């Protein structure tokens, strides 16, 4: 069905567009014109986007979709519905499913299931090591051929530094990207929140900043040696941001993202054991939160993700340290990023780039931009809309 989107403000950072533009889309789903309608074009449907923002569909670098293996928490269909409700049209699925995405068959199955539902695109991440156990390398070349866009051990640490070095060398030899969740498991131990004032007051086991910085230092040393293209996921501390910034200045091929909730919440939001604030990595100090925001503004951190981890209600009813970590974030990714615009931290085009162009560039995807000949992968939203987030209002 041919389509015209008229009256909206097109924000397309990749093409440096931030102006009122109409879009015209042909029956095959491709953009055929930006601005004026092509000669003879007849739209079967017209969308009035007056006072709305029109931008590329959002790309979320990290969303646990719970299928296969944890369908009692969520399903691919429910989470794809939640994604499009939040303007997200492309999702990256970490390999910590059950079973793990460490074979081409698993990668293909997830993509096939997503294609069947048709709401949004899913790009699986392949496992760095078999079964995420950190011992034997996965067949990354075969996983790449099966559609995996990057490789990671998710939240499972690769404690053997030699194995991590070999994994980076393998990835570098095929020009593959490695996504790193840098956290020292011994320093983390059984911690459940940031080690500091709040953990001491509440009597909770804390996770020190050093749990992140020690692991980041090790990974940066290996990146320097192997020259693998690497991406740090979910940075949470000021010192880790500083280390990544220094590595970028030295020319290392590294990028980084942050979760939307780490840009707004701190350890103080735990209050009196609010399990909704039990996330991994933990919410840290105000100093850390402010450093993350500066890193976004300065371009050290180039993407914001949801780190979506849906749970059944009972998972958050346990005592804080026993509650399952994670937060449902697909439907709040865009609003929380726009809050940075409202607070004058960053301009709107940069906010949109953090959710579109930059994630696409990190992954080497052609999406994240709108141009003639491109797939009509589009998000439309009202920047002045106000709504109250409640459990009943959420799709996931």
Identify whether 307 is a catalytic site residue. yes
Domain assignment present for residue 256? The answer is yes
How many angstroms separate the Cα of 170 from the Cα of each of 174, 179, 229?
Answer: 7, 14, 11
Model confidence at 91: pLDDT above 80: yes
Handedness of CA 276, 183, 257, 345 (dihedral sign): positive
Stretch 48-53: mean pLDDT: 97
Domain assignment present for residue 308? The answer is yes
Q: Is 231 exposed, middle or buried (0-12, 13-18, 19+ CB in 10 A)?
A: buried
Whichever domain contains 152, its CATH number is: 3.20.20.140
Domain assignment present for residue 91? The answer is yes
Instruction: Look at residue 177 in the predicted model and tell me its pLDDT.
Output: 98
Domain assignment present for residue 373? The answer is no
Q: How many structural domains are present in the chain? A: 1
Domain assignment present for residue 164? The answer is yes
Domain assignment present for residue 306? The answer is yes
The catalytic residue among 307, 314, 377, 382 is: 307
What is the DSSP code string of 320-369?
Answer: TTTSPP-B--GGGHHHHHHHHHHTTSS-HHHHHHHHTHHHHHHHT-S-S-
Grade residue 391 by pLDDT with cuts at 50, 70 and 90: confident
Grade residue 336 by pLDDT with cuts at 50, 70 and 90: very high
Domain assignment present for residue 209? The answer is yes
Q: How many residues does the chain have?
A: 396
Provide the CA 63 distance to its chain's centre, in angstroms: 6
Stretch 362-378: mean pLDDT: 94
Instruction: Look at residue 324 in the predicted model and tell me its pLDDT.
Output: 95
Range of the domain at 294: 57-368
Domain assignment present for residue 388? The answer is no
Instruction: Look at residue 392 in the predicted model and tell me its pLDDT.
Output: 75
Give residue-wise pLDDT tens across range 287-308: 999 999 999 999 999 999 999 9
Model confidence at 396: pLDDT above 80: no
Model confidence at 40: pLDDT above 90: no
């Amino acid at each position: 069905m041919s389509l015209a989107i008229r009256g909206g403000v097109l924000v397309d950072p990749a093409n440096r567009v931030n102006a009122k533009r109409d879009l015209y889309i042909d029956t095959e789903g491709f953009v055929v014109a930006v601005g004026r309608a092509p000669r003879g074009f007849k739209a079967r449907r017209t969308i009035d986007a007056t006072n709305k923002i029109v931008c590329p569909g959002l790309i979320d670098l990290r969303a646990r979709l719970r299928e296969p293996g944890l369908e009692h928490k969520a399903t691919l269909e429910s989470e794809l519905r939640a994604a499009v409700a939040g303007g997200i049209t492309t999702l990256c699925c970490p390999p910590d499913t059950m079973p793990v995405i460490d074979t081409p068959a698993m990668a293909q199955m997830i993509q096939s299931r997503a294609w069947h539902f048709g709401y949004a695109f899913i790009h699986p991440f392949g496992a760095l090591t078999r079964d995420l156990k950190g011992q034997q390398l996965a067949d990354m070349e075969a996983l790449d051929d099966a559609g995996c866009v990057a490789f990671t051990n998710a939240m499972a640490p690769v404690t053997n530094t030699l194995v991590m070095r070999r994994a980076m060398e393998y990835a570098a030899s095929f020009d593959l990207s490695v996504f790193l969740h840098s956290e020292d498991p011994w320093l983390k131990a059984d911690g459940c929140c940031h080690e500091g004032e709040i953990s001491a007051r509440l009597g909770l086991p804390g996770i020190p900043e050093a749990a992140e910085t020690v692991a980041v230092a090790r990974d940066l040393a290996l990146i320097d040696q192997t020259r693998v293209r690497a991406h740090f996921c979910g940075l949470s501390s000021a010192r880790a941001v500083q280390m990544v910034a220094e590595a970028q200045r030295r020319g290392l091929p590294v990028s980084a993202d942050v979760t939307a909730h780490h840009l707004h919440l701190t350890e103080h939001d735990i209050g009196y054991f609010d399990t909704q604030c039990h996330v991994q990595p933990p919410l840290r100090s105000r100093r850390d939160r402010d450093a993350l925001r500066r890193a976004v503004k300065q371009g050290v951190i180039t993407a914001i993700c949801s780190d979506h981890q849906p749970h059944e209600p009972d998972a958050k009813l346990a005592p804080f340290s026993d509650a399952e970590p994670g937060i449902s974030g697909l439907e709040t990714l865009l609003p929380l990023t726009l809050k940075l615009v409202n607070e004058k931290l960053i301009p709107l085009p940069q906010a949109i780039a953090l959710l579109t162009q930059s994630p696409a560039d990190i992954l080497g995807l052609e999406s994240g931009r709108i141009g003639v000949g491109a797939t009509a992968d589009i998000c439309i939203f009202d920047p002045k809309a106000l709504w109250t987030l409640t459990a009943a209002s959420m799709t996931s």
